[in-house]
Amino acid sequence: MKRIYIEEVSQYKNEKVEIRGWVYNKRSSGKVRFLLVRDGTGIIQATIFSPEKDHPLFQLFDNLTQESAVIVRGQVKEDPRAPGGYEIAVNDLETVHIAQNYPITPKEHSVPFLMEHRHLWLRSRKQHAILQIRWEIIRAIRDFFDGLGFRLIDAPILTPSACEGTTTLFETEYFDQKAYLSQSGQLYMEAAAMAFGKVYCFGPTFRAEKSKTRRHLIEFWMVEPEVAFATLEDIILLAEDLILFILERVLTKRRAELEILERDPGPLEKIAKPFIRLTYEQTVKKLQQMGSKMLYGDDFGAPEETLLSQLYDQPVCITHFPAQIKAFYMQPDENNPEVVLGVDVMAPEGYGEIIGGGQRIHDLSLLEKRIEEFNLPREAYEWYLDLRRYGSVPHAGFGLGLERTVAWICKLKHIREAIPFPRLLYRIYP
């Protein structure tokens, strides 16, 4: 008898197989018992028939509780009445472990309760589907960059100094010094790009922001490509291709999961190059016409992001921001030094910014000046300035927030479901 996984069941029609898993749910109707078994790859209905009321399999079945671990052996049958179209006619049932009072029942639960049981919630159908899609997106991102000849260069997580202001950094002890958890691998990727040409890093980042919204996590994953000799225009094209590659992959390989999530694939299928392009100035004018009170020089707030996503069903690339609202390393536009060559890509359907990036300053004296203007500790940036001393070239890159991308593609109400174990302002358990 062959031990198989539920996702392979259609290849074993009428064969006898063994499935190892957990009880998802059970039902009974007199002389027929139905056991829904999940094994991590899917859920299948196992059936037991007998005219004998005290059949030994019935006794085993009756003792099983939700999430008990079982080994089921029997024949695969195609049956339209079974969820998924296939079921197992059981002739042997082995109990591995009886679960006692599993807390997540097939009924409704509140968000706080489910978050408290996140370690178990992962077993539920929708959470499982979301994390399958997350995995597919991660693979797509790696395949995309590897396929283009990018080198994966890992950025450090413990960093020696505040790169973009200390208020949002997690501080920790580093023997007799202080260290900070990384907010971004970008500066290290700039060094790597000068060594390898085109690079990316993909890892967790940490922001000690006391933000409490559906779009924020304290710990989140970001993929950050950086390309030597690239301009703003080059990386906008790269960002478009990346997003389309991810969408194509999920739409072809994770249809079933999108269906479990009741996510209409229509809006995702419509997305195509080129994305909408607007300068910051054009965007502000448009928003003001729509009734927003924001002024030139303000950053976009949540209401503005919502307004924008109502206007377009394509991602929107906003460029040419006023220098003062962006980071110190942003390259000024040569036609208008008041604005910088940065880009934010806003996902449609109200999901807001999923990408932030741009062209970096490559001129040593300009970068020194900016470090001074932003009141940053010059010593901490000596290594970064070195990149402008030894073969400096124009270069650009961006960061894509993984969880925001997952939330958009899965159309989640809250980003906390886009990561297995979310770290939030008021939650670090489990």
Partner RNA sequence: UCCGCGGUAGCUCAAUUGGCAGAGCGGGUGGCUGUUAACCACUAGGUUGCAGGUUCGAGUCCUGCCCGCGGAGCCA
Q: Does residue number 358 form part of the binding site for RNA (CB under 7 A)?
A: no
Shortest Å distance, C-beta 382 to RNA: 23
Phi–psi pair at 195, nearest 5 degrees: -95, -35
Q: In angstroms, rounded to a whole number, what is the distance separating the alpha carbons of residues 367 and 388? A: 9
Q: Among 230-238, 254-262, 301-309, 374-382, which window interacts with RNA (CB under 7 A)? A: 301-309
In this structure, the dihedral spanned by the alpha carbons of residues 382, 387, 392 and 395, taken in order and rounded to 10 degrees, is -120
User: Which listed residue (6, 228, 258, 400) binds RNA by CB under 7 A?
Assistant: 400
Considering the complex, state which of residue 82 and residue 364 has its C-beta at the smaller distance from RNA: 82
Rg of the chain over Cα atoms, rounded to whole angstroms, equals: 26
Q: Does residue number 147 form part of the binding site for RNA (CB under 7 A)?
A: no
Q: Does residue number 426 form part of the binding site for RNA (CB under 7 A)?
A: yes
Considering the complex, state which of residue 10 and residue 211 has its C-beta at the smaller distance from RNA: 211
- For residues 419 and 221, is the Cβ–Cβ distance under 8 A? yes
Q: Does residue number 303 form part of the binding site for RNA (CB under 7 A)?
A: yes
Q: Identity (one letter) of the amino acid at 395?
A: H
Shortest Å distance, C-beta 26 to RNA: 7
**Axis crossing angle, helix 232-253 with helix 125-147, rounded to the nearest 10:** 140
Chain residues 196-225 in contact with RNA, contact rule CB under 7 A:
207, 209-218, 220, 222
Considering the complex, state which of residue 56 and residue 174 has its C-beta at the smaller distance from RNA: 56
- For residues 103 and 117, is the Cβ–Cβ distance under 8 A? yes
Chain residues 80-139 in contact with RNA, contact rule CB under 7 A:
81-83, 87, 101, 103, 105-113, 115
Q: Does residue number 226 form part of the binding site for RNA (CB under 7 A)?
A: no
User: Which listed residue (75, 95, 132, 168) binds RNA by CB under 7 A?
Assistant: 168
Q: Does residue number 375 form part of the binding site for RNA (CB under 7 A)?
A: no
Q: How many CB atoms lie within 10 A of CB 360?
A: 27
User: Which listed residue (92, 94, 269, 299) binds RNA by CB under 7 A?
Assistant: 299
Shortest Å distance, C-beta 187 to RNA: 12
- For residues 101 and 16, is the Cβ–Cβ distance under 8 A? no
- Per-residue contact flags (x/-) with RNA for residues 17 to 36, judged by CB under 7 A: --------x-xxxxxx-x--
Shortest Å distance, C-beta 224 to RNA: 9
User: Which listed residue (41, 66, 95, 161) binds RNA by CB under 7 A?
Assistant: 66
Phi–psi pair at 427, nearest 5 degrees: -155, 120
Bond into 430 cis (ω within 30): yes
Contacts of 414 by beta carbon, 8 Å cutoff, 6+ apart: 214, 407
Query: How many residues lie near RNA (CB under 7 A)?
Result: 72
User: Which listed residue (73, 128, 360, 404) binds RNA by CB under 7 A?
Assistant: 404
Helix, strand, or coil (residue 89): strand
User: Which listed residue (225, 356, 358, 394) binds RNA by CB under 7 A?
Assistant: 356
Shortest Å distance, C-beta 36 to RNA: 7
Q: In angstroms, rounded to a whole number, what is the distance separating the alpha carbons of residues 397 and 306? A: 26
128 alpha carbon, distance to own chain's centre: 14
Tokens at 240, concatenated: 């478009």
Considering the complex, state which of residue 207 and residue 388 has its C-beta at the smaller distance from RNA: 207
Tokens at 8, concatenated: 């392979």
